[in-house]
Structure 1
Amino acid sequence: MPHPDADDVPDDDAPDAPRFRDKPVSFVRRSGRMSDGQERAWAALSPHYLLDVERAAAVTSIRPGDPVDLTAVYGRSAPLVVEIGSGQGHAIVHAAGATPEADFLAVEVFRAGLARTMLDADRAGIDNLRLVEANAPEVLEHLLPAASVDEIWIFFPDPWHKNKHTKRRLVAPGFPAVAARALKPGGRLRLATDWEDYALQMREVMTAATEFAPGFEGAWAPRFEGRIMTAFERKGLAKGRDIRDLVYVRRDGA
Structure 2
Amino acid sequence: MTDNSELTHQQKRAFQPEKLSAPRDFITPSIIGKNKDNVPLVVEIGAGKGKHALGFAVQNPDKHLIAIERTRNKFEAFSKLATRQNSSNLDAIHADAIAWIVHAIAPSSVAKIFILYPNPEQQNPNQQWLNMPFFEFLLSRLQVDGEVTLVTNIEAYLDNAEQQATKVWGLPNTRQRVPDDSQRTHFEVKYLARGEACWELNMHKPEGYKTRFDDWQTVL
Q: Does the alignment reach a TM-score above 0.5?
A: yes
Report whether the alignment pairs 1:102 with 2:57: no
1:129 shift after superposition: 0.7
Q: Distance in 1 between matches of 2:95 and 2:83?
A: 21
Residues 71/178 of structure 1: CA separation in 2 closer, same or farther (3 Å cut)? closer
Q: Distance in 2 between matches of 1:211 and 1:140?
A: 22
Q: Distance in 2 between matches of 1:133 and 1:103?
A: 17
The alignment yields a C-alpha RMSD, in angstroms, of 3.0
Identity %: 24
1:202 shift after superposition: 1.1
Q: Deviations over 1:206-251 (max 9, x none)?
A: 112445211x3xxx23538xx7343211322344431011101011
Q: What does residue 208 of structure 1 align with?
A: 167
1:176 shift after superposition: 3.4
Residue 56 of structure 1: which of 13, 16, 21 is its match? 21
Residue 246 of structure 1: which of 177, 196, 201 is its match? 201
Secondary structure of 1:157's partner?
coil
Count of residues in Structure 1 that have an aligned counterpart in Structure 2: 190
Q: Distance in 2 between matches of 1:108 and 1:73?
A: 23
* Counterpart amino acid of residue 110 in structure 1: T
Residue 199 of structure 1: which of 158, 179, 204 is its match? 158
Given that 1:195 and 1:241 are in contact with CA atoms closer than 8 Å, whether structure 2 keeps it comes out as no
Given that 1:141 and 1:182 are in contact with CA atoms closer than 8 Å, whether structure 2 keeps it comes out as no
Residues 141/101 of structure 1: CA separation in 2 closer, same or farther (3 Å cut)? same
Secondary structure of 1:184's partner?
strand
1:89 shift after superposition: 0.4
Q: What does residue 186 of structure 2 align with?
A: 231
Residues 75/158 of structure 1: CA separation in 2 closer, same or farther (3 Å cut)? same
Q: Distance in 2 between matches of 1:77 and 1:116?
A: 30
TM-score (norm 1): 0.65
Q: What does residue 172 of structure 1 align with?
A: 131
Gapped regions of structure 2 (runs ≥ 5): 1-14, 210-220
1:109 shift after superposition: 0.5
Residues 187/160 of structure 1: CA separation in 2 closer, same or farther (3 Å cut)? same
1:133 shift after superposition: 2.3
Given that 1:137 and 1:178 are in contact with CA atoms closer than 8 Å, whether structure 2 keeps it comes out as no
1:112 shift after superposition: 2.2
TM-score (norm 2): 0.74
Q: Distance in 2 between matches of 1:80 and 1:58?
A: 21
Secondary structure of 1:234's partner?
helix
Given that 2:28 and 2:104 are in contact with CA atoms closer than 8 Å, whether structure 1 keeps it comes out as yes
Q: Distance in 2 between matches of 1:120 and 1:169?
A: 29
